[in-house]
Amino acid sequence: MTNNADVGIERIRELLPEISRIEEAKLSDAVARIWLRAWRSSAWEELASVPKSVDLPAKRTLVTHTSAVARIAGHMVDVLAPAHGLTISKDRTLAIALLHDVSKVAEFEQSPSGARASRAGRLYQHGFLGAHWMEDEGLDEELVHGVLAHTPVSAVVPQTHEAVIVHYADFADSDVQLLDAGQRLFCKRRA
């Protein structure tokens, strides 16, 4: 029998097929459940409507950005691990990439002109809620660290290969979109 949670998880896996590319089932399920929690904590009826940023055109969605960051990060693991003889976990990189901005579902809300920062978005530093939900799911501190450290507002510098990769994958996808919109690029921001 299907219940609402199953429908929600199914929709999330449909929007973000990269979740199913995480081979460890427990980790893949945890990522999907955290997205469901984020969605349920918000007033967004359609997850695909959540924007990437309140400053970018609405067509720039969080789901598209998250999917692109996960795919870029996956390719970076494929290149960097063999190039430098490093052991870098594809599963863990994908999990961090897929969750790095999940807090935006709650940090943004619909407004008459599109979207704006919600009360939580104004009160909490970007990334905090995602990290909190990850802790609640029992994900380990290096995964939580990857999400906390991805943003320029973090005082913590990425300290695992997986976290470094997601940080740059996020900048790559963000900056091509910002350039297209005529906005200031992340790569030259200090905070």
Q: How far is the CB of 89 from Fe ion (least distance, A)?
A: 20
Indicate the DSSP class of residue 116: E
Q: Which residues ranging from 73 to 102 are in contact with Fe ion (CB under 5 A)?
A: 101
The DSSP H or E segment spanning 111 is strand 108-111
In the chain, DSSP finds a helix count (H) and a strand count (E) of 9, 2
d(CA 26, CA 145): 19
Q: How far is the CB of 173 from Fe ion (least distance, A)?
A: 7
Verify binding: residue 18, Fe ion, rule CB under 5 A.
no
d(CA 40, CA 45): 9
For residues 149 to 178, the per-residue mask of contacts with Fe ion, x marking binding by CB under 5 A and - elsewhere, is ---------------------x--------
Q: How far is the CB of 190 from Fe ion (least distance, A)?
A: 18
Quick one: 52 or 92, whose CB is closer to Fe ion? 52
Quick one: 137 or 173, whose CB is closer to Fe ion? 173
Dihedral of alpha carbons 69, 75, 81, 87, sign: positive
